[in-house]
Amino acid sequence: MASTTDTMSLNLKIWRQKDPTVEGKLVDYKVDNVSPDQSFLEMIDVLNDQLVRKGEDPIAFDHDCREGICGMCSMTIDGKAHGGFKNTTTCQVHMRLYKSGDTIVIEPFRAQAFPVIKDLTVDRSAIDKVMAAGGYVTANTGNAPDGNAIPIPKPVADAAMDAAACIGCGACVASCPNGSGMLFMSAKVSQLALLPQGKPEAPRRALNMVYTHDSLGFGNCSVHAECEATCPKGISIEHIARANREYMKAAFSYHEKTHSEGGA
C-alpha cells in the first residue's frame, strides 16, 4: 500500500483517571508512525503497546465490533462525541482525517448518568436500565411467524427502521448540553409505537421508559438537536417528538388495572 510510507506523528492529550473515586487529568502523549489507514482505535492500540513496553498502565477504552454496529466504542474527541464526523462511530474514524502534527484531545463520554470507570471508559448501564424498563415487546415463543402475516406500510416500516438503527452508544447523552438521554429513549418508544407488534404495550412502555430515564440523572430536552447532529446512526429528533406524543397520550389515558380491580 502506497500510503503506508507517509506516516503521521500526533500529539495526544488523553484523560487518565485511575478509578471513579479519584480526580483525573489530561496527560500528554506523542505517537509516531501512525498510518493514515489506521482506525482511531488502532492508533490508541499502538500507543498502548508502547505504554505496555515501557511498563506503564495502558489507556482503558471501550470497543468491541470495530465495525460501527455494536455501540461499544465511545470517546469524546476534540470535544465531540465520536469525533464529530457525520454518521461515524469512533471505531470508524480513520487517521487520514487528521494531519501529521495535529494535537488531539481525547476525553470519555461525559454525563451525570455516565460515571467514569477508568480513563476513557464510562459506566453506560443507565442506558440498559432505560431499555429494560420497556424497550421490548412481549411475544409468545414458538415458530417464527410468517413475515407477511402482519402487513406494515412501507413508510411506517422505514420510519421504525430509522429508529431501530440506534446502537445505544450514548453519544446523544455525551453531546447533549443537558446530558439528556431523550434521543436514545425516544428511538425505542417511537420504533415500537410505530409497529403493530409494539402498539399493545405502547402506553405502558412510554410511561415506564420516561419514568426510568428521568430517575437515572439524565437531563431534560431543550431542543438544541445536538444529539441529532452527533448520532452515528443519524437518528432524527422527530422520534423525540413522537415519544412526547406517546407519553402525553399515555399519561392521560392509560390506566393499568390493579389486582383488586381485576388486573394481573
| Chain contacts with ligand HEM (rule: CB under 6 A) | 222-223
Cα 193 to Cα 28, 66, 86, 186, 259, distances in angstroms: 48, 31, 27, 10, 26
Q: Least distance from C-beta 71 to another protein, angstroms?
A: 18
Residue 62 or 162 with smaller CB distance to ligand FES: 62
User: Angle formed by the axes of helices 238-253 and 202-215, to 10°?
Assistant: 110
- The strand ranges marked E within the chain are 8-16, 25-34, 76-77, 80-81, 103-107, 116-118, 121-122
Contacted by 176, from ligand HEM, ligand FES, another protein, none: CB < 5 to 8 Å by type:
another protein
If the CB atoms of residues 41 and 243 are measured against ligand FES, the closer one turns out to be 41
Distance, CA of 67 to CA of 82 (rounded, Å): 13
Q: How far is the CB of 142 from another protein (least distance, A)?
A: 29
User: Count of residues binding ligand FES (CB under 6 A)?
Assistant: 13
Residue 174 sits in the site that holds ligand FES (CB under 6 A):
no
User: Judged by CB under 6 A, does residue 234 bind ligand FES?
Assistant: no
Q: Tell me which stretch binds ligand FES (CB under 6 A): 47-55, 61-69, 101-109, 151-159.
A: 61-69
Main-chain dihedrals φ then ψ at residue 12, nearest 5 degrees = -115, 140
Please report how close the Cβ of residue 18 comes to ligand FES at its closest, in angstroms. 24
Describe the chain by its helix, strand, coil percentages, rounded to 5.
Answer: 40, 15, 45
Handedness of CA 90, 91, 97, 103 (dihedral sign): positive
230 binds ligand FES (CB under 6 A): no
Which stretches of the chain bind another protein, using CB under 8 A? 13, 15, 25-26, 76, 78-80, 84, 105, 107, 109-114, 173-180, 182, 204, 207-208, 210-211, 213-214, 217-230, 236-238, 240-245, 247-248, 250-252, 254-256, 258
**Which residue, 112 or 125, is less far from another protein as judged by CB?**
112
Residue with the three cell numbers 402475516? 149
